[in-house]
Structure 1
Amino acid sequence: MVNTVSIGQLTEEANYDRFMERIEAGEKIETEDWMPDEYRMTLIKLISMHGISEIMGALPEKEWVPKAPSLRRKLGIMAKVQDEMGHGQLLLRVAEDLMKPLGKTRENIIRDLLSGDLKFHNVFHMEAKTWGDAGLIGWLVDGAAIITQTNMLDASYGPYARALKRICAEEVFHAQHGEAIIMALAEGTDEQKAMIQDSINRWWEALLMFFGPGDASTTGTSKQDTTIKYKIRTKTNEELRQDFFTKYIPRVLSLGLTLPDETMHFDQDAGMWQYLQPDWSKFKQIIKNNGPKSKERLRLREISYTNNKWVIDALQN
């Protein structure tokens, strides 16, 4: 029996080979360029999740706008919330351009969020109980975000890489904003310092989870190999988590604070931090919208979408 290969198959293989050659050479892929379906779908999922996380991530801090301890702090956190919403809109536009060949729009992204098909970062399912939490979000959560996002500044997809350059520049100010809140509390009363310690104790596990599982054996799922293969990013989840430890553990300890993990230490022989693994089964439940504030924040997003849908309809007609 003679094996036959269609012209379409040959063209597809040739396109893929040329695509990978471009990526290996460091070229940027643009919206109108040919790309394999796996690459497109990986980008849509990643950028949609990133964009929605920027929007959902503004909600815990939005809760503190009317409760900020001074006018200066109120103005600072209002500006930060505005920036995060802008980041979300920028990223959703990038995702939307990728979705157009599939006949989908930004509205599909919102529907996927509300249906549970689109996830957002685990940390934004958390409750921001105190002003210390508001500071910690800027200091450590945004600090973790900077580490992951700067790892993609040279992403193979040009529109995403360019959007990240602007976003990362603004995130640096957000981290400084959070650090200023933490430093003020650390230099304050014993009660204020205890507030920071309480925030670290409650958020530490979520911060570890922020970077995702180290490998597929931890939770049974991991998409990091695909993003690395296509040079969307260069480091693994665990490498990024180790970078976070190296940057922030000394800073936390320098303030006289402690970490809620007695096993945490730097292993000189292994050249990496050893730590207690978070409960990854809990992580899976959180990103399925079963976290402390998941339902409330999704409901707020749904109300906003429903109340303002007339604007979308007016623009489309």
Structure 2
Amino acid sequence: MILVLLIVALSFSSPYFATARNVSNILAQTAVISVVAMGQHLVILTRGIDLSVGSNLALASVLGALCFHAGGGSFAVVAVMVASGALVGAINGGFYVFGRLPHPFIITLATLSIAKGLALELADGRAIPGMPAAISALGQDAFAGLPGSVLVVLGVAAILFIVTRTMVWGRWIYAVGGGPIAAVRMGIPVSWVLVSTYIIAGTCAGVGAVILAGRTDAGSPLFGNLLELDTIAAVIIGGASFLGGRGHLGNALIGAIMIGVIRNALNLLNVNIFFQLIVIGVVIVVAVEADVLRNYLEGRVRVFQAGRAQ
């Protein structure tokens, strides 16, 4: 509802906002955030957080560019980027769970720095131009009237929706986030569920690297700056809770689109680009406070209902 109201208001504020070209630009520009936000969504469902997604994406794009210059074709380049993302995700999940760390903030903050440093070292601190034609087409061309990157987003969303809504594993994720102790007592393999969510988050970062490398026809260690902020904002705006066990994949996508719409509108209205960071930060604070208020009101309602039942 908020997204619809925002679109209506902006359509009156700028004559260029509702044009087909601008809508296509918004969808293309939010594709990376959307894909990575879906992985972040699963992590947050389990009461976790992944701060490394931006650096993970940058490292994956650099490795993909190096693979291309080493003679790799489209399939090899995509495989390298996705595998790189998944590996970083596996390291995050493995160290968090089996290293018995108190919170994933620690390991993902460490891999944020490590992955960024590796990307800068491998790329010698600059972008590496060149990508296979198929990847460039995916990032720049339109298919059936939609940007190719949007089709990738829809494909990833369909897979994750099926997995989280129709498979037992998806129910386990919600159970682990909603009550970790109860999940252990029910016999759910909590450790592997947690690791799997970080692997998927890393894989989504790798897919995001494919999209961004296709759009720019390059790999760069500077990709993904503040991407962790955008993805967390998208998930929280979409109604997921940091307390775990609450959230819907489709709402995370809506949150990502809202961020893209806000930024696009600020650009069309000639608002200073630095002010955009302030706006996104304010939106996160409001969304988190709304989540806290919602949990408080729901708790009060449950107490009231329990009192009436007695």
TM-score (norm 1): 0.25
TM-score (norm 2): 0.26
Q: Which has the higher helix share?
A: 2
Higher RCO, 1 or 2 (CA under 8 Å, sep at least 6)? Answer: 2
Task: Please tell me whether Structure 1 or Structure 2 has the larger radius of gyration of its CA atoms.
Answer: 1
